[in-house]
Every structure is written in structure tokens, then in C-alpha cells.
Amino acid sequence: MPRIVLCIEYDGSNFEGWQSQPHGRTVQDALQTAVGEIAGHEIALACAGRTDTGVHATAQMAHFDTEADRPLSAWVRGVNAHLPESICVRWALEVDESFHARFSAYARRYRYVLLNRPVRPAILAGKVGWQHAPLSLPAMQDAARILLGEHDFSAFRAAQCQAKSPVRILSTASVMRMGDLIVFDFEANGFLHHMIRNLVGALIFIGKGEAATSWMSELLLMKDRQLAPPTFSPAGLYLCGISYPDRWHLPGEGRIIATPFIVL
């Protein structure tokens, strides 16, 4: 039975996250219905990383098994014809049954885009987070560097997180400014539930001058979620790349990409 892997882009604003729900208002539900139309039978998608309500993706990865014999173009153009405008399949590839979108991945990359100006966004509403107070870029950059390496991220873990261990290895934690936008990039071997939104919240807290850069080290050591700032808005969060071993020969978007944001 063929196994097909898809690279998917979506605007999560009007969906209640990735994972299928009885009411059907999720990205997975929309995709499974569309793929099923082309396959001619019900299918079940397994994804690389579940995203929450309001979170977007430029390169989500998912796979499914099918009895249907279709050209790869059918899994792209055909499926896209059955999807809402806010979701599209970017490419499809047939892989062997040992591939798994989640368990074969060794790294994931997320980007958070924050509008930092006194006035809230209009055109970019739902696509960026917003902080009206001025932020110190050097302070946030210094704090982000503290996060690099292997740490217990319990202070940045949601209470409902089901991960067996809070330890993760963060290989990228960078902050840069593009006009009124501040872009946070994170890459790790895995992320905890709400981990990135919690990290961004702490970095913004430091950027506002509410705490010293060294406070980030203290949070890591204390391992107490209640001592860290509240979870930040999902609006500016993007899943933008998954890394897999070269043996799968996936197109570049299946490894790591970070789509640049247009500065308006």
C-alpha cells in the first residue's frame, strides 16, 4: 500500500488547531476530507507536529496510506481543489512504509512574528502578535542565547502537556528586527506544548525591561511554570520546517525553511 507524504501550508486563524475534533473545524479534518475525495476512500493523516488554535504553518508535514493509484499531481492539484483557500498542499511524494511524519523527524523549526509599534495591526491582524511597548532587541537577543543547548523547559511547559520529558535541545534561538516587526526563530529536536509562546512571552517581558537578561537562566533553573509570564498570543506563530534524514530525499521544504515576512 503506497505511503504518501504531503507538505502543507495553512492559515490557522479560522481553525481550532490541527488535530481532528468531532465538530470538524480543524486543519486535519479539512485535509482528510479533501484527500479522501481523491483517494476514493477514508484516510487518516499523521502529522509532524500538532499546532494549536490560531497557529499557522508554511511547511507542515503529514503522511497517509492509500489503496489508490494516483499520480503525485493528483495529491497536490486534485486535493487543493477540495480545500478551502486557507489551506494548500505544496507538494507530494511517495515514500516507503518506514517513513513517519512525526517519528522520522529529528528537528522542527518555528518562527514567531511580532508587530512592535504603538498601534495594533489591521492588515496583519491574526498573522502577527502585537506588543505596543518599545522592546530592547539586544536584551532579548542576550536572553535568547541563554536558551541554547539542552535544558529542562518545565518553566515554559503548558499544564496539559503530555510529553514524557521536559528536556529539549534548542539549536536555534534568535531574535531580529525587520522594521516594526521582531522575528523570533527557534529550532529544536522537539517542543513542549505552548513552549514557544511561553518563551516569546518571557523574551518580551525582558525586552520591556521588566526583568534582567539573567532572569531567563533563573526561570530554567526554577522549573516552575507559575513563575514565568503568561502564554503569549498564537497569532504570530508559524511552523516553518521539519528536518528529516537525507535518505528520504524530501524536497527542501521538508527539511528546514523560514519564509521571510514582508515588512509593510
Q: What's the whole-number average pLDDT of the chain?
A: 93
Residue 231 and residue 150 in one domain: yes
Predicted pLDDT of residue 144:
98
Do 258 and 64 form a contact (C-beta atoms < 8 A)? no
**Domain boundaries, position 135:** 107-239
Other beta carbons within 10 angstroms of residue 176's beta carbon come to 12
pTM score, whole prediction: 0.93
Q: What average pLDDT does this structure show over 125-150?
A: 97
CA dihedral of 121, 127, 129, 131, whole degrees rounded to 10: -20
Q: Is the pLDDT of residue 49 over 50?
A: yes
Q: How far apart are CA 101 and CA 99, in angstroms?
A: 7
The enclosing domain of 155 has a CATH number of 3.30.70.660
End position of a domain, from candidates 68, 86, 104: 104
- pLDDT tens column, 224-264: 999 999 999 999 999 999 999 999 889 865 554 445 554 43
The answer to whether position 196 is within a domain reads: yes
Residue 90 and residue 62 in one domain: yes
- pLDDT tens column, 172-207: 999 999 999 999 999 999 999 999 999 999 999 999
Do 170 and 205 form a contact (C-beta atoms < 8 A)? no
Residue 111 and residue 88 in one domain: no
Of the listed 11, 29, 52, 142, which one is catalytic?
52
Residue 59 and residue 160 in one domain: no
Do 205 and 188 form a contact (C-beta atoms < 8 A)? no
DSSP single-letter state for residue 247: G
DSSP single-letter state for residue 99: -
Q: Is 158 exposed, middle or buried (0-12, 13-18, 19+ CB in 10 A)?
A: middle
The enclosing domain of 83 has a CATH number of 3.30.70.580
- pLDDT tens column, 215-230: 999 999 999 999 999 9
Q: What average pLDDT does this structure show over 20-38?
A: 92
Q: HSE on the CB side for 10, CA within 13 Å?
A: 29
The answer to whether position 100 is within a domain reads: yes
The answer to whether position 135 is within a domain reads: yes
User: How many angstroms from the chain centroid is the CA of residue 156?
Assistant: 16
Q: How far apart are CA 29 and CA 22, in angstroms?
A: 9
The answer to whether position 263 is within a domain reads: no
Q: Which three cell numbers stand for residue 224?
A: 516552575
Helix, strand, or coil (residue 76): helix
Contacts of 26 (CB under 8 A, 6+ apart): 15, 16, 17, 18, 19, 20
| Strand-strand pairing, 129-131 and 107-116 | parallel
Q: How far apart are CA 53 and CA 10, in angstroms?
A: 12
Q: Is 52 a catalytic residue?
A: yes
